[in-house]
Structure 1
Amino acid sequence: MFYVQLFSEYFKNYVKTKLTYRADLAVELLADLMFQGMNLFFILIVFTHTTLLGGWTQEEIIFIYGFFMVPYGIFSCFFNLWGFSEKYIVKGEFDRVLTRPAHNLFQVTLENMDPPSLVGSLMGLIIMGWAWTQMDLQMMWYDPLVFIVMVLGASMIYMGIYTALTAIAFFSDAPTGILPLMWNIQNYGRYPVTIYNKAIRILLTWILPFAFVGIYPAAFFLHKEVSRGFSLLTPVVGLVFLWIGLTVWKYGVKRYRGAGS
Structure 2
Amino acid sequence: MFYMSLAAEYMKNYVKTKLTYRADFWVEVLSDLLFQAVNLIFILIVFRHTPTLGGWTEAEVVFVYGYFMVPSGIFGALFNIWNFSERYIVKGEMDRVLTRPAYNLYQVLLENLDPPSLFGSVIGLVIMILSWGDLGLVFHLTDVLMLAAFTVGSVMIYAGIFTSLTAISFYSDAPTGILPLMYNISNYGRYPVNIYNRIIRFFLTWMLPFAFVGVIPASYFLGRNETGLSNLAPYTPLMGVVVLGIGLFIWNHGVKRYRGAGS
The two structures have a TM-score, normalised by structure 1, of: 0.99
Post-superposition CA distance 1:95-135 (Å, at most 9, x none): 00000000000000000010000000001001111111111
Aligned residues: 261
- Residues 166, 175 of structure 1: 8 Å contact kept: no
**Other-structure match for 1:217:** 217
| SS state at 1:138 partner | coil
Residue type of the alignment partner of 1:166: T
Residue type of the alignment partner of 1:32: D
- Residues 74, 155 of structure 2: 8 Å contact kept: yes
Residue type of the alignment partner of 1:255: R
Q: Counterparts of 1:9-20 in structure 2 under 5 Å? A: 9-20=9-20
- Residues 74, 117 of structure 1: 8 Å contact kept: yes
**1:17 Cα shift?**
0.3
**1:176 Cα shift?**
3.0
Post-superposition CA distance 1:8-46 (Å, at most 9, x none): 000010011011011111111111111000000000000
**Other-structure match for 1:108:** 108
Residue type of the alignment partner of 1:24: D
Counterpart Cα distance in 2 of 1:25 and 1:260: 35
Q: Which moved more, 1:57-66 or 1:174-183?
A: 174-183
**1:140 Cα shift?**
1.4
**1:5 Cα shift?**
0.4
Residue type of the alignment partner of 1:173: D
- Residues 44, 58 of structure 1: 8 Å contact kept: yes
**Other-structure match for 2:235:** 233
**Other-structure match for 1:179:** 179
- Residues 212, 233 of structure 2: 8 Å contact kept: yes
Counterpart Cα distance in 2 of 1:139 and 1:129: 10
**1:141 Cα shift?**
2.1
Counterpart Cα distance in 2 of 1:61 and 1:175: 36
**1:33 equivalent in alignment to 2:18:** no
**1:232 Cα shift?**
1.1
Counterpart Cα distance in 2 of 1:135 and 1:73: 24
Q: Counterparts of 1:38-77 in structure 2 under 5 Å? A: 38-77=38-77
**Other-structure match for 1:193:** 193
**Other-structure match for 2:248:** 246
| SS state at 1:48 partner | coil
Counterpart Cα distance in 1 of 2:212 and 2:69: 13
Residue type of the alignment partner of 1:234: T
| SS state at 2:141 partner | coil
Counterpart Cα distance in 1 of 2:176 and 2:15: 28
Structure 1 runs not aligned, ≥5 long: none
Counterpart Cα distance in 2 of 1:251 and 1:219: 36
- Residues 67, 124 of structure 2: 8 Å contact kept: yes
- Residues 86, 175 of structure 2: 8 Å contact kept: no
The two structures have a TM-score, normalised by structure 2, of: 0.98
Counterpart Cα distance in 2 of 1:109 and 1:49: 43
| SS state at 2:53 partner | coil
- Residues 82, 176 of structure 1: 8 Å contact kept: no
Counterpart Cα distance in 1 of 2:149 and 2:175: 32
Query: Identity of aligned pairs, percent?
Result: 63
